[in-house]
Structure 1
Amino acid sequence: MFAITGASGQLGRLVIAQLLKTVPASQIVAIVRTPSSVADLAAQGVQVRQADYNQADAVQAALQGVQRLLLISSSEIGQREAQHRNVVQAAKAAGVQLIAYTSLLHADSTPLALAKEHLATEQMLRDSAIPHAVLRNGWYTENYLASLATALQHGAVLGAAGAGRISSASREDYATAAAIVLQAADAAGKVLELAGDDSYSLSELAAEISAQSGKKVQYQDMPTAAYQAALESFGLPAGFAAFLADSDEGASKGGLFDDSRALSKLIGRATTPFQTSLKQALTALPAA
């Protein structure tokens, strides 16, 4: 029995879609805060169980009969350590035999402040003595494409990454990797540094947006504090704006670069080029 936390999220849904290619739906457990959000998965035969990262007892109940668990890191930055501890302790009590955890690329050496909670979770997994695998995921290309419409509107990609190179891959690439590791007999004990095959700077991203859209878009590099202020002026919460600005600053120091190609080796194919993801994102935008 396989279980995925945060199964209603974009990554969780993609992992389940991958598992369904080789695993009977009845052997997949989708753990979600709101069961109605995954009614489509239930209709396919996936077991849907309600639990919140903050509800230790509910998580333990949801993990009954589960052998292998994918712990997708919580989206609540600043609360992750306590939330993940609830899941790890619940997994131990429920007799889970393997946990795969989505951490951060080079978590033990990255300049990104985001690493702190991931490292704490990696340590609690070691302390738990539960066999586990650590998926140190690099950036999702979708992280930058989320602001594509704004970039096209204003003719600018804003950031604080300087000339830092970003080895991103698509969310589906990482989901494929997670599904493979979750099913692998030799997964326990592995720490996998996963990133895209190729890298790009935000200047190159802006140039590609221009080339594909036919609209002039340039990269505007900013000091970290100014970039954070700009994000807040667009309506982003201060905490989230700080996280994005810090991540860009980390990228300027090489924090989002990796050339090991471990992800493509794991999934058995090249990772999705950012140009391909961009083309898909442009197609999905509403007509002007």
Structure 2
Amino acid sequence: MTIAVTGATGQLGRLVIESLKRKSTGEPIVALVRSPEKASDLGLEARAFDYAQPETLAPALIGIDTLLLISSSEVGQREPQHRNVIEAATKAGIKRIVYTSLLHADRSPISLGEEHRATEALLASSGIPTTLLRNGWYTENYTGSIPAALENGALVGSAGEGRLSLATRADYAQAAAIVLTSDGHEGKTYELAGDDAVTLADLAAEISRQTGRDIPYRDLPQADYAAILKQVGLPDGFAEGLAAWDVDASKGALFDDGHQLSKLIGRPTTSLADAVQAQLAARG
């Protein structure tokens, strides 16, 4: 059974490839990427695959049995791009699709949920056996703010006291690799999230503990947080989105206590302390 991974040179895609290699199950792995030359370090067959260019899709899926469809990074273009992939997969005779969706996509208030719900509907109508990996927020979405927090003396956001069930990209990647290489997952939906729900105040406290500095969490109105994100160079739409998603998180949108992720990977999800330590080590 040949497995193909879309977005294989992206942050999640690379980790899925690494996890698949470690499993050493013998299945051939194909990297589907916009620019195959950028995938040379993966050590795999790489094929040109651009969600926005339908003509590249079906030829790249020839001989593929199982497809991991990592959701497009282009918010606002996901539904048509995913439709292109699903239609190509149907033509190519793909036997199974595994899709990275959003935690509780069917009822999430987060604006990203709309495109994920549309994609899930497309998959359901395609007739292709599907597994939905409804991924929660990456811990890195927040630990990536550590350098700015240290520079400015505070961690800022708009998540209030919302409890965030965070897990690292590596946790989610391992889950994807397990589903891709084992049986019994067809037709299933997994709500994947971290074992321990934390607040941004907890994150600030952990940063303070590990650095020996006093780094408080400062909760801001949505508009003020969006303005700060724009000031540091984020595009307006993305900045507005991040601030809005934080407000959604303050109301519980990123909380889940089902522990399906740790059950699937057979170990506890990565702790906040370990994730902070890794970010600080990468910072040097």
Query: What TM bracket, shorter-length normalisation?
Result: over 0.9
- Choose the corresponding residue for 2:64, options 63, 66, 74: 66
Give, in whole Å, the separation in 1 of the partners of 2:188 and 2:220.
38
Give, in whole Å, the separation in 1 of the partners of 2:244 and 2:127.
33
What is the identity, as a one-letter code, of the residue corresponding to 1:173?
Answer: D
What do the CA deviations read for 1:175-226 (whole angstroms, capped 9, x no partner)? 0000111122211100100000001100111011011011221111111122
Indicate the residue corresponding to 1:96 in structure 2.
94
Give, in whole Å, the separation in 2 of the partners of 1:129 and 1:78.
25
Give, in whole Å, the separation in 2 of the partners of 1:205 and 1:255.
18
What do the CA deviations read for 1:82-131 (whole angstroms, capped 9, x no partner)? 11001111111100010000000011112211101000000000011110
Is the CA contact 2:25–2:181 (under 8 Å) kept in the aligned structure 1?
A: no
- Choose the corresponding residue for 2:123, options 122, 125, 128: 125
SS at match of 1:103: strand
Indicate the residue corresponding to 2:21 in structure 1.
20
What do the CA deviations read for 1:211-243 (whole angstroms, capped 9, x no partner)? 101122111111112211111111100111122
What is the aligned residue count?
283
Indicate the residue corresponding to 2:268 in structure 1.
270
Indicate the residue corresponding to 2:248 in structure 1.
250
Greater shift after overlay, 96-105 or 221-230? 221-230
SS at match of 1:20: helix
SS at match of 1:272: coil
Tell me by how many angstroms 1:25 deviates: 7.3
Is the CA contact 1:160–1:223 (under 8 Å) kept in the aligned structure 2?
A: yes
SS at match of 2:23: coil
Is the CA contact 1:112–1:255 (under 8 Å) kept in the aligned structure 2?
A: yes
Tell me by how many angstroms 1:21 deviates: 2.2
2:165 aligned with 1:167, yes or no? yes
Indicate the residue corresponding to 1:191 in structure 2.
189
Give, in whole Å, the separation in 1 of the partners of 2:22 and 2:183.
18
- CA RMSD for the aligned pairs? 1.1
Is the CA contact 1:135–1:194 (under 8 Å) kept in the aligned structure 2?
A: yes
2:3 aligned with 1:5, yes or no? no
**TM, length-normalised to structure 2:** 0.97
2:111 aligned with 1:108, yes or no? no
Tell me by how many angstroms 1:18 deviates: 1.0
**Structure 1 residues 157 and 137: CA distance shift in structure 2, 3 A:** same
**TM, length-normalised to structure 1:** 0.96
Structure 1 runs not aligned, ≥5 long = none
What do the CA deviations read for 1:16-67 (whole angstroms, capped 9, x no partner)? 11111234677101001111211111xx3x1100111111121111111000
SS at match of 1:270: coil
What is the identity, as a one-letter code, of the residue corresponding to 1:222?
Answer: L
| Percent identity for Structure 1 against Structure 2 | 54
What is the identity, as a one-letter code, of the residue corresponding to 2:151?
Answer: Q
Indicate the residue corresponding to 1:35 in structure 2.
36
Tell me by how many angstroms 1:246 deviates: 1.5
Is the CA contact 2:3–2:27 (under 8 Å) kept in the aligned structure 1?
A: no
Indicate the residue corresponding to 2:174 in structure 1.
176
What is the identity, as a one-letter code, of the residue corresponding to 1:154?
Answer: N
Structure 2 runs not aligned, ≥5 long = none
SS at match of 2:55: helix
Is the CA contact 1:6–1:32 (under 8 Å) kept in the aligned structure 2?
A: yes
Is the CA contact 1:25–1:47 (under 8 Å) kept in the aligned structure 2?
A: no
